Amino acid sequence: MDNPVSSAERVERFQALRPSRLQKRQGPSALPRFATPFSTSELSPARYGRTVRDERYDTPEFLRRLRTGEAEAFAELVTAYQHRVFGVALRMLGSAAEAEEIAQDVFLRAYRALHDFRGDAKLSTWLYAIASRLCLTRLGSSERGMSHRGGDKLARIPDQDPGPEAALEQSEREAALLRAIAELPDDRRIVVVLRDLEGLSYEEIAGALDLELGTVRSRLHRARMDLKDKLERFLT
């Protein structure tokens, strides 16, 4: 039988893997040392999301490795999902710096709570649930207020690989889509990000956000209608 690892021991091991707070302040990345840096160039609709084979990380053996505190297993989890978690946070908050903070916090909280994860949902859905709650809490905080509105930071994600002239129209459409998503109300934006960008099912979104299935469908419908109005000139 595997020896369980306490929450305190798990956090201690995680702290050994991640940069110190001083290193975090001095360097641009808030990621554990084993993780590759986040890059906004990964977040264009053509390249972002739906790339992780979840079944590899939802096996009983992998969950066993996580629950016993195996650092290598957790490193694999972070490497697999860091860009997706970061992408959700970036789309919600419109700030790469804030998204990095949220992503780091997501994995720290996940590491602390591994003993509570029963495997009823996918690991990815569980991580999305943590990320969604943290983003919505951040957006609702009094110190942040409504400063994220406008959201054109998302529309200015740089194109690292400019294509020929024929690609310019696609880039314009992508920028307009990102801007339109950023301008959605928080509760609608999160369901669009999880459904249309991350590919979660309605049931997974309902579980991640603790909503009724009908509420998810209603918010997604309203969000898509909002986007259709904002992007009308690209649809004609």
Residue 1 lies in a domain: no
Number of structural domains (the chain) is 1
- Read off the pTM: 0.69
Could you read off the pLDDT of 180-203 as tens digits, one per residue?
888 999 999 999 999 988 889 999
If pLDDT is split at 50, 70 and 90, which confidence band does 32 have?
A: very low
Residue 32 lies in a domain: no
Average pLDDT over residues 165-172: 70
Residue 42 lies in a domain: no
Residue 216 lies in a domain: yes
Crossing angle (nearest 10°) for helices 123-140 and 96-112: 130
What's the confidence (pLDDT) of residue 230?
Answer: 85
CATH assignment of the domain containing 141 = 1.10.1740.10
Residue 33 lies in a domain: no
Residue 153 lies in a domain: yes
Looking at 10-19, 110-119, 148-157, 195-204, which range is the least confident one?
A: 148-157
What's the confidence (pLDDT) of residue 18?
Answer: 47
What's the confidence (pLDDT) of residue 170?
Answer: 74
Of 40, 30, 33, 31, nearest in space to 154 by CA:
40
Cα Rg of the chain, angstroms: 18
Domain limits for position 107: 7-21+47-235
Residue 38 lies in a domain: no
Average pLDDT over residues 25-42: 40
Could you read off the pLDDT of 60-73 as tens digits, one per residue?
899 999 988 888 99
Residue 90 lies in a domain: yes
Average pLDDT over residues 90-117: 91
What's the confidence (pLDDT) of residue 121?
Answer: 85
